[in-house]
A and B are shown apart, each in its own frame.
Chain A
Amino acid sequence: MKAHDVALGRAVERAQAGEEAAFAEAYRIVHPGLLGYLRGMVGQDAEDVASDAWLEIARDLGRFRGDGAGFRGWTATIARHRALDHLRRVRSRPRHDLFDQDVLELPAQRDTAGEAMETLSTGRVLGLVAGLPREQAEAVLLRVVVGLDGPTAARVLGKRPGAVRSAAHRGLKRLANQLRGGDR
């Protein structure tokens, strides 16, 4: 991750100087995490929301100040705002309704956590994430899927680092319990 961040920081710098290939490189480094985060947030609409977010990132690149890790935080903040806008638009159709069925169909009991993990589909994971309280789900997604460190995730969420750390901890614990088929 650290090496990645250094490479990302250099790419962003060159992109800000106008180098197109450098922007494409930054995109390739950052996009998978952003898309994973957006999948957790808005499900199947993630690609569209990510596309909107990248338009904004490309437009505002000149405003950004910071290194590679900062660029992850900045882009995650933009993606999050786009996702929240999207959720407001589709509020009439809450996202967890899409996945409740998957949650119910989870395998009841597994011998080991690892065995259960291997068989998990994206839909089931989304269902589990959707079942978490919002702040836990977001903290887990930003820390685990986007790969932000604690303080950066806290800034993205506008919360104290301690609160985000414990939310991520509790969210992961709950996910692990559910994956194990335990009683939460």
Chain B
Amino acid sequence: MRRGRARDDDHESDAAAEALRAALRPNQSVSENEAQHAVAAFRAARDAGLHAGSGAPRTRRRDDWRPATGRRIGLWPKAALIALVSGMTLGSVAIATGKLPNPLPDLPERRPEPGVSTPVSTSPEDVTAFPSSEEDNASASPSQSAPSTAPVRETSVPGPTESEQVPPGAAKSHEALCRAYEQRTGHAGGASDATALRRLVEAAGGKEAVPGYCEKLTGGSKAPDKTVPEARAGGQDHRRNPSEGKEAPADRR
């Protein structure tokens, strides 16, 4: 009856298995002396309370030989729950940070809103406000992720200097993308990151819109740091930027 366990259709392997069993398993009945030895050890352990009761040692993992199916059924719901929770968490983070597809048609509509509310500068105000609405979509802060314009107003109105001097992270990264894009169009053989370029095209709303988008973005973010004319010029002259310590790392991309 053990023949089938050999899992070998080869007759000779079966015969070899049979020979192994015949040779290695003891022919005579179990030695009574040895058996008594083992039973005595059993008795001693039982009487010492090792088999049951409070003195019994804990079952370790290597002592648990219950059928795996029983344990796995218990594990599956747990694994599914963990997967679900982590999936939802990551998914909502991705939505909050704007990594998931972004409804771009929103951008032009919402652009003027914060621009009106920004009282500081005259000509680059639209441009300045644009990155902050970008941040609204792209930053990880949950308080700013609401699509209404109210939070944008709150961030730009009470502290205009802050919101203008510290360019939003997303705007910064898009700005860097822009510079990379401009460099790429400048030097045809330059290394380009296809994914980054695609992101830029997506953000601009089309391939043709990229130059205009970039011009606004790079011009706008420089406006607070420099004077207005310089910022205007910065839209074209991207080589000035590496000298600005804050943006140098992003520029290196």
Contact = CB atoms under 8 A, between A and B. Distances in A.
Interface of A: 1, 15-18, 20, 23-24, 27-28, 31-33, 35-37, 39-40, 47, 50-51, 54-55, 57-67, 69-71, 73-74, 77, 113-114, 117, 120-122, 124-126, 129, 140-141, 143-145, 147, 149-152, 155, 165, 168-169, 172-173, 175-177, 179-180
A63 B60 contact: yes
Contacts of B252: none
A36 B2 contact: no
B3 to A, nearest CB: 10
B10 A36 contact: no
A22 B35 CA distance: 12
Contacts, number: 188
B13 A73 contact: no
B72 interface: no
A155 B63 CA distance: 12
A47 B34 contact: yes
Interface of B: 1-2, 5-8, 10-13, 15-26, 30, 34-35, 37-39, 41-46, 50-52, 56-60, 62-68
A167 B22 CA distance: 21
Contacts of A69: 65
B37 to A, nearest CB: 6
A65 B16 contact: no
Nearest to B48: A59
B44 to A, nearest CB: 8
Given A35-B25, A113-B12, A173-B12, 16 more contacts: A27-B39, A31-B35, A51-B38, A54-B37, A60-B50, A61-B42, A62-B50, A62-B57, A63-B63, A120-B19, A120-B22, A126-B23, A144-B21, A155-B65, A172-B6, A176-B10
A150 B68 CA distance: 13
Given A1-B1, A58-B38, A36 B25 contact: yes
Given A54-B38, A58-B38, A63-B63, A144 B52 contact: no
27 contacts: A1-B5, A16-B51, A20-B43, A24-B39, A28-B35, A32-B25, A36-B26, A37-B24, A51-B34, A58-B42, A58-B44, A61-B50, A62-B50, A62-B57, A63-B57, A64-B59, A64-B65, A77-B62, A125-B24, A129-B20, A141-B20, A145-B24, A169-B7, A172-B17, A175-B16, A176-B10, A177-B12
Q: Which of B16, B18, B22, B23 has the most CB of A within 10 A?
A: B16
Contacts of A141: 20, 24
B45 A58 contact: yes
**B contact face: mostly helix, strand, loop, or mixed:** helix
Q: Which of B12, B20, B21 has the most CB of A within 10 A?
A: B20
A61 B20 contact: no
Contacts of A168: 6-7
Given A24-B39, A47-B34, A172-B16, A18 B24 contact: no
A147 B30 contact: no
Sorted nearest first, the 9 A-B pairs with minimum C-beta distance are: A70-B65, A66-B65, A36-B24, A62-B51, A58-B41, A125-B23, A176-B12, A54-B38, A117-B19
A23 B42 contact: yes
A145 B25 contact: yes
Contacts of B25: 32-33, 35-36, 145
Q: Which of A144, A150, A173 has the most CB of B within 10 A?
A: A144
